[in-house]
Amino acid sequence: MWIGEAAAAAGTTPRALRFYEQRGLLTPPARTASGRREYGPGEVARVRVIRDLLAHGFTVEDLRGVAHRLHVLVDGPPVGCDGSGVVGDRLAALDAEIDRLTRLRERLARRAGVRDDDGTGPGTGSRVR
Structure confidence at residue 66 (pLDDT): 87
Structure confidence at residue 89 (pLDDT): 84
Structure confidence at residue 75 (pLDDT): 78
The answer to whether 126 touches 116, Cβ cutoff 8 Å, is yes
Structure confidence at residue 9 (pLDDT): 96
Strand (E) or helix (H) holding 126:
none
Structure confidence at residue 25 (pLDDT): 95
- Determine if the pTM surpasses 0.85: no
Structure confidence at residue 120 (pLDDT): 56
Work out the number of other CB atoms within 10 angstroms of the CB of residue 64.
12
Measured distance CA(120)–CA(15) in Å, rounded = 52
Rounded to the nearest 5°, which phi and psi values hold at 45? Answer: -60, -40
Q: Mapping DSSP to helix (H, G, I), strand (E, B) and coil, where does residue 76 land?
A: coil
Structure confidence at residue 121 (pLDDT): 58
Taking 70 as the pLDDT cut, the residues of the chain under it are 77-84, 116-129
